[in-house]
């Protein structure tokens, strides 16, 4: 089963991310890749680098960032795991690293199921 | 935060391979290592739902298993005689480095070696193929016996006995738990690849039962293959097998229509193929070809021809036929000959395809192989020889050993006699 994980920062300390955190994130990424479950992940730039296209009441508009959002998207990851709990566990490990290595950082990760063959009438292998 | 049982099992799936691998190294006995790991899991299932997942679950599991190991050595006189006790105990003390935090949990080649060695043991030639599959899924994949039993449609008791017998075989035959030496590595690696592909195929084309595919087993095999790529990045055929599985798995979602009916390759909605897996598969194929791969790489190259094509007609059948010709040379089998005949027929016309298929008519192993009849039927239909095509589709249906394949061939047969339902799926 594939899950998209979107990591969002709510409170970011006024300091650069500690190198220990970056190293721990790299290690976790390698572990998850080595375990065959992490298919893709990247950091995301602040919304000032992006744009938003909107359709409202039949009217299309495009506007450059930044978007006024209380939570800034900071990275995405795509996991291929046996169950949702596995994606929760890997994601928890990333947040534990943030907690332990960058005091004051607060955020949240949404874990979203991607449609897959298991959703298309194929049997469940258990 | 108390943990659910499902959350404990998730941690287990992540840690099982490394834990059992380390315990094999420490105890020098596979069965003991596996028992200790399972005991540690049971302890976690008792405690974590009550107390929450510990901050370092891997360290907790290892520490618990280690204490259980020392207890067992002290209590169990038989075990002491059977295993070099003192050495083992001293080794256990030395091996243990205390709890790790995430920050200092670095990637360690010893851990990789443990995991690779575990794969070689689980796929050891002294074991039956069924046992290799079960042990690999259980120790490396971290699946529970009940999950493996359900995937292979046997009772939990049967699967439990199979695993117990396999463990006993490894102990009784004093199977060496060291890494295979250089001379042996190639054939032992081939054994591991064969087990992984068998698991994949059991999911992809379920040989028994009502499900045409069981995607969860395919995905399990794919994860095992990706793990092996990390452990043996210089081996062409590891990349070749992973490429083959990624490319085949990319088509899984398209193999069923909205009602859950199976859809043949020719009729699949290609927009539903999984582009992320295709991209990964093609990248793995490139690595395999750079390293000069063998049969898995050739099969992946064939799968790549399919995923690169916009439609069946757009498919480079000439290249597929050429790849099958090479495959028939390096890894000859009646099934490869059959597939080559189909590809040549698609490239050069149904008459030529039929001619090659007819040369396989005396092949005993294909006598009850529905695909041969289905292939003949398709070429006969293309030549307008409808009554013969009908008989062959019916024969293919009667030979099918799973419900969905039978359904496909019956529908193809029906389409021949009723032009209104000529749409084959």
pLDDT in tens, B162-174: 999 999 999 888 8
Query: Looking at CA atoms only, how far is residue B353 from chain A in angstroms?
Result: 32
Give whole-number Cα distances, B84 to A27, B73, B77, B89, in Å. 36, 10, 12, 9
B379, B411: one domain: yes
Contact A126/B260, CB-based, under 8 Å? no
- Which has the closest alpha carbon to B241: B222, B218, B261? B222
pLDDT for the residue numbered B206: 60
Peptide bond into A66 cis (omega under 30): yes
Contact A125/B150, CB-based, under 8 Å? yes
Domains and CATH numbers, chain A: 2-117 (3.30.70.1060)
Residues of chain A with pLDDT under 50: 122-126
CB-CB neighbors (< 8 A) of B283 in chain A: none
B342, B375: one domain: no
**Position B250 in a domain:** no
pLDDT digits (tens, 9 = 90+) for B402-418: 787 888 899 999 998 87
Residue that is last in its domain, among B366, B381, B407 = B366
pLDDT for the residue numbered B290: 97
**Position B179 in a domain:** no
CB-CB neighbors (< 8 A) of A41 in chain B: none
Contact A36/B226, CB-based, under 8 Å? yes
Q: Which of A6-20, B34-48, B102-116, B211-225 has the lowest mean pLDDT?
A: B102-116
Mean pLDDT calculated for residue range B136-141: 94
B402, B372: one domain: yes
**Position B377 in a domain:** yes
pLDDT for the residue numbered B66: 86
Query: Per-residue pLDDT for B425 more than 70?
Result: no
How would residue B424 be classed by pLDDT, with cut points 50, 70 and 90? Answer: very low
pLDDT for the residue numbered B83: 59
pLDDT for the residue numbered A40: 95
**Position B345 in a domain:** yes
Q: How many domains does chain B have?
A: 2
CB-CB neighbors (< 8 A) of A126 in chain B: 146-147, 150-151, 216
Residue-number span of the structural domain to which B350 is assigned: 316-366
Contact B222/A36, CB-based, under 8 Å? yes
pLDDT for the residue numbered B79: 65
**Position B217 in a domain:** no
Who among B151, B210, B255 is closest to A125 (CB)? B151
Who among A36, A82, A85 is closest to B227 (CB)? A36
Paired tokens of B34: 């596996």
How would residue B102 be classed by pLDDT, with cut points 50, 70 and 90? Answer: very low
Contact A122/B255, CB-based, under 8 Å? yes
Check CB contact of A103 with chain B, cutoff 8 Å. Answer: no
Contact B223/A37, CB-based, under 8 Å? yes
> For testing the chain B interface, which of A27, A32, A35 should be mutated: the one with the most B CBs within 10 Å?
A35
pLDDT digits (tens, 9 = 90+) for B274-315: 999 999 999 999 999 999 999 999 999 999 999 999 888 899
Percentage above 70 pLDDT, chain B: 88
**Position B125 in a domain:** no
Query: Per-residue pLDDT for B86 more than 50?
Result: no
Contact A27/B107, CB-based, under 8 Å? yes
Percentage above 70 pLDDT, chain A: 94
Check CB contact of A111 with chain B, cutoff 8 Å. Answer: no
3-state secondary structure chain B: CCCCHHHHHHHHHHHHHHHHHHHHHHHCCHHHHHHHHHHHHHHHHHHHHHHCCCCCHHHHHHHHHHHHHHHHHHHCHHHHHHCCHHHHHHHHHHHCCCCCCCCCCCCCHHHHHHHHHHHHHHCCCCCCHHHHHHHHHHHHCCCCHHHHHHHCCCCHHHHHHHHHHHHHHHHHCCCCCCCCCHHHHHHHHHHHHHHHHHHHHHHHCCCCCCCCCCHHHHHHHHHHHHHHHHHCCCCHHHHHHHHHHHHHHCCHHHHECCCCCECCHHHCCHHHCCHHHHHHHHHHHHHHHHCCCCHHHHHHHHHHHHHHCCCCCCCCHHHHHHHHHHHHHHCCCHHHHHHHHHHHHHHHCHHHHHHHHHCCCCCHHHCCCHHHHHHHHHHHHHCCCHHHHHHHHHHHHHHCCCHHHHHHHHHHHHHHHCHHHCCCC
> For testing the chain B interface, which of A25, A123, A124 should be mutated: the one with the most B CBs within 10 Å?
A123
**Position B327 in a domain:** yes
CB-CB neighbors (< 8 A) of B151 in chain A: 125-126
How would residue B387 be classed by pLDDT, with cut points 50, 70 and 90? Answer: very high
pLDDT digits (tens, 9 = 90+) for B246-272: 999 999 888 888 777 778 888 898 988
CB-CB neighbors (< 8 A) of B220 in chain A: 82, 125
Contact B222/A80, CB-based, under 8 Å? yes
Mean pLDDT calculated for residue range B315-323: 96
Higher pLDDT, B45 or B176: B45
pLDDT digits (tens, 9 = 90+) for B192-239: 999 999 999 988 876 555 555 578 899 999 999 999 999 999 999 999
What ipTM does the predicted assembly reach?
A: 0.90
B362, B392: one domain: no
Name residues 31-70 of chain A within 8 A of B (Cβ).
31, 33-37, 39-40
Contact B227/A28, CB-based, under 8 Å? no
| Mean pLDDT of the residues in chain B | 87
Who among A24, A31, A33 is closest to B103 (CB)? A24
CB-CB neighbors (< 8 A) of A101 in chain B: 103
Higher pLDDT, B83 or B40: B40
Only one residue has tokens 């590595």, namely B185
pLDDT for the residue numbered B36: 93
B406, B422: one domain: yes
Query: Per-residue pLDDT for B103 more than 50?
Result: no
B386, B422: one domain: yes
How would residue B89 be classed by pLDDT, with cut points 50, 70 and 90? Answer: low
Contact B55/A35, CB-based, under 8 Å? no
Report yes or no: B276 and A115 within 8 Å, Cβ to Cβ. no
pLDDT for the residue numbered B197: 96
**Position B255 in a domain:** no
Q: Which of B13-17, B181-185, B382-386 has the lowest mean pLDDT?
A: B181-185
């Amino acid at each position: 089963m594939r899950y998209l994980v979107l990591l969002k920062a709510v409170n970011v300390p006024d300091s650069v991310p500690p190198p220990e955190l970056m190293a721990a994130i790299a290690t976790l990424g390698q572990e998850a890749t080595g375990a065959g479950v992490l298919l893709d992940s990247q950091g995301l730039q602040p919304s000032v680098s992006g744009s938003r296209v909107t359709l409202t009441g039949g009217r299309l508009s495009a506007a450059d960032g930044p978007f006024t959002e209380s939570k800034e998207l900071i990275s995405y990851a795509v996991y291929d795991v046996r169950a949702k709990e596995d994606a929760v566990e890997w994601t928890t490990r990333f947040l534990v690293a943030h907690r332990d290595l960058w005091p004051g950082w607060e955020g949240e990760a949404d874990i979203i199921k991607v449609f897959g063959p298991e959703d298309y009438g194929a049997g469940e292998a258990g | 935060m108390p943990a659910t049982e499902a959350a404990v099992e998730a941690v287990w799936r992540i840690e099982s391979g490394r834990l059992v691998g380390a315990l094999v190294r420490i105890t020098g006995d596979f069965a003991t290592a596996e028992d200790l790991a399972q005991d540690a899991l049971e302890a976690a299932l008792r405690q974590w739902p009550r107390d929450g997942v510990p901050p370092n679950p891997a360290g907790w599991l290892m520490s618990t298993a280690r204490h259980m190991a020392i207890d067992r050595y002290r209590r169990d006189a038989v075990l002491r005689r059977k295993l070099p006790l003192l050495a083992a105990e001293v080794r256990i003390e030395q091996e243990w480095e205390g709890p790790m935090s995430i920050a200092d949990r670095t990637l360690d080649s010893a851990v990789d070696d443990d995991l690779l060695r575990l794969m070689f043991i689980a796929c050891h030639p002294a074991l039956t193929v069924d046992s290799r599959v079960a042990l690999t899924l259980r120790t490396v994949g971290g699946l529970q016996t009940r999950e493996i039993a359900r995937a292979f449609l046997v009772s939990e008791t049967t699967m439990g006995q199979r695993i117990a017998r396999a463990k006993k075989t490894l102990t009784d035959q004093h199977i060496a738990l060291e890494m295979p030496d250089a001379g042996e590595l190639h054939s032992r690696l081939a054994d591991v690849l064969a087990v992984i592909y068998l698991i994949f195929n059991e999911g992809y084309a379920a040989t028994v039962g009502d499900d045409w595919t069981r995607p969860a087993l395919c995905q399990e095999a794919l994860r095992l293959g990706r793990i092996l790529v990390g452990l043996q990045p210089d081996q062409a055929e590891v990349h070749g097998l992973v490429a083959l599985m990624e490319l085949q798995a990319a088509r899984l979602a398209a193999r069923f229509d909205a009602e859950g009916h199976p859809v043949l390759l020719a009729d699949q909605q290609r927009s539903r193929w999984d582009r992320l897996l295709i991209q990964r598969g093609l990248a793995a194929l490139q690595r395999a070809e750079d390293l000069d791969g063998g049969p898995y790489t050739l099969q992946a190259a064939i799968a790549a021809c399919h995923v690169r094509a916009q439609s069946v007609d757009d498919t480079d059948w000439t290249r597929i036929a050429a790849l099958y010709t090479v495959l028939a040379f390096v890894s000859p089998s009646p099934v490869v000959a059959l597939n080559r005949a189909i590809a040549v027929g698609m490239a050069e016309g149904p008459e030529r395809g039929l001619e090659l298929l007819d040369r396989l008519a005396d092949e005993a192993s294909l006598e009850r192989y529905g695909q041969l009849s289905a292939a003949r039927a398709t070429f006969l239909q293309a030549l307008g020889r409808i009554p013969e095509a009908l008989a062959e589709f019916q024969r293919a249906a009667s030979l099918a050993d799973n419900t969905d394949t039978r359904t496909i061939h019956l529908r193809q047969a029906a389409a021949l006699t009723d032009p209104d339902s000529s749409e084959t799926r």
